[in-house]
Amino acid sequence: MNFRYINCHTHIFNVKCAPDRFIGLPVARLLASNRTALGAVHGLMRVGEVLPFLKTGTRESIEKMRSFLKIGTNRSQEGVFELLRSNYSFGPISYVALTLNMDHMGAGKALIPFSTQLSQVADLKIIYKEDLIPFVSIDPRSGSPDQLLQLVQDCIEKKAFGGIKMYPPLGFYPFDPRLEKVYAYAQEYGIPILTHVSKGGIFYQGDHIPLDFLEPISFGGDRARWTSVEGVEGAVMDFSKNVRDTRRFLGKTWGKGRRNEEFKVHFSDPRNYHVVLKKFPRLKLCMAHFGGDESISEFIDQQKAGTPDPLNWHHIICEILRSYPQTYADVSYALWQPKVWPRMSECIDPPKGLQRDISDRILFGTDYYMTIQEESEVNLVNNFRKAIGNERFKKIAVDNARQYLEHRAPLISGTIH
């Protein structure tokens, strides 16, 4: 066998890398800080009769949360990576491990700052070589544009990282001008970028709302403008209205009303990438989660009803993929939902008569270990693989993935023959 499967979307950072308030639920936070308590919960779950008052669904939810925390509280990133590998009986397989810079998400301080997380992953690359393909996470708030570029160059060229990871809901827009140099570098060398495009996931938790959240600035220092939305094309992006007008939410709010969680969709909106791709049309950009399982489900329902919504995120992503030949989407996290499987099959291998234009740019990924909250990694992969068939699976996990990960950036010592 002369090929290698690639899971293009996994995480191996542990709870030490996450800030204090990364885990929202106080009980979960307590369990994350105490493995003995976590073991006790497991014990109680095993003897289910002890908790007869819990409904089966609740018990399952607790068990899933426990499984998630058990992986997350592993001593090291290497431990999490080993757990990931233990789920795969087929291979050989490589894993794209997406690092995550959570230093600026306003959720407190992490025991391990991002620099240490990165350093540990770089060490793991030396040990696991082809099996591990780390992506360096970038956040425009973490340094000057030159420092960001230097970080990316250092990771790609000296530490053999495979690409760049972005997670805008942590509090930045993808068209942030501070990212311009990184985009230019990535476009020049065909370095893959993977960005979070789904309505779920973690988000900025800071107490204050910076002005550039409400009136974002784009490349060249100008106010960001919509580029391809019907009716508002060319209009300035202004989210301050949403903040002022939404006062009905309770709980932690931003001054005039809008909750952080509600606001995060502005950061992860796929329309933001029109701005980026207009300037960098050859950027190798993967929109993770394909818009998220909710958007895909809605898209399926709308298709059935014959009432397509041009603002549906999955639809927008498909349009982006059609417009920009270097853009990709991965099925991570969304693949847990059986409802989306036929749609995935359709995208990977469209029925006769439909365009095949995006089928080469769908990637396989699971979003380990975030998905443990829905399904075990083994079941997730096996069920999905069975549903779409081996050929399609090979296409997205081998051929498309290899094409996506290939880049021309020089490694410090070059390539030897």
Partner 1 sequence: MNALLEVAISMALVYTLLSILVSYITEAWQRWKRTRGAVLRKSLETLLNDPFNKNFCELLYEHPLIRAQRKNDNHQPSYISTSLFVTAITDVLRREAVRPHIFMTTDGSTHVDEPVNRNPYEDIRLGIQSLAYSPLKVQLLSLMSETTDESSLLSRFGAWYDEYQQEVSSRFKSKARVKTMIISMLVAVIVNVDSISLVHELYRNKEMRAIVVEAAEQYVMTHSAPETPAAEDSTGTTTTVSAEEELRILRERIDEVETYLGSFGLPIGWTRDACGAQITVEPGVMGFVKEFAAILKCKFTSSSFDQMVLTIIGWVMTAIALSFGAPFWFDLLNKFVAMRSGRTRPQSQNPAT
Summarize as ranges the residues that interact with partner 1 (CB under 8 A): 16, 35, 74-76, 78-79, 111-113, 115-116, 119-120, 122, 125-126, 129-130, 158-160, 411-417
Rounded Cα gap, residues 41 and 35, in angstroms: 10
Q: Which residue has the tokens 């790609």?
A: 156
The rounded Cα 81 to chain-centroid distance in angstroms is 17
Shortest Cβ 160–partner 1 spacing (Å):
4
CA 370 – CA 44 distance, rounded (Å) = 23
Q: Give the residue with the Cβ less far from partner 1, 21 or 35.
A: 35
Q: How far is the CB of 43 from partner 1 (least distance, A)?
A: 16
Measured from the CB atom, is 2 or 355 closer to partner 1?
2
Task: In angstroms, give the least distance from the CB of 416 to partner 1.
Answer: 5
Least distance in angstroms from the C-beta of 5 to partner 1: 14
Q: How far is the CB of 75 from partner 1 (least distance, A)?
A: 4
In the bound state with partner 1, the residue whose beta carbon lies nearer, of 154 and 261, is 154
**Rounded least distance, CB 4 to partner 1, Å:** 8
Residue 110 or 317: which CB sits closer to partner 1? 110
Contact 404, 363 (CB under 8 A): yes
At 96, the amino acid letter reads V
Closest distance to partner 1 from the beta carbon of 112 (Å) = 5
Nearer to partner 1 (CB atom), residue 38 or residue 285: 38
Can you tell me whether residue 19 is helix, strand or coil? Answer: strand
CA-angle at 259, arms to 255 and 263, nearest 5° = 110
Least distance between partner 1 and beta carbon 410 (Å): 10
The whole-angstrom separation of Cα 93 and Cα 7 is 7
Q: Where are the alpha helices (DSSP H) in 8-103?
A: 26-32, 35-46, 56-72, 77-85
Cβ count within 10 A of residue 306: 6
Tokens of 409: 């950036």
Nearer Cβ to partner 1, position 193 or 409? 409
Q: Are 308 and 301 in contact (CB under 8 A)?
A: no
Is the Cβ of residue 151 or residue 321 nearer to partner 1 in the bound state?
A: 151
Q: Where are the beta strands (DSSP E) in 191-331?
A: 193-198, 253-254, 258-259, 285-291, 327-330
Residue 305: its H or E element: helix 293-305
**Residue 393: strand, helix, or coil:** helix
The smaller minimum CB distance to partner 1, of residues 148 and 224, is found at 148
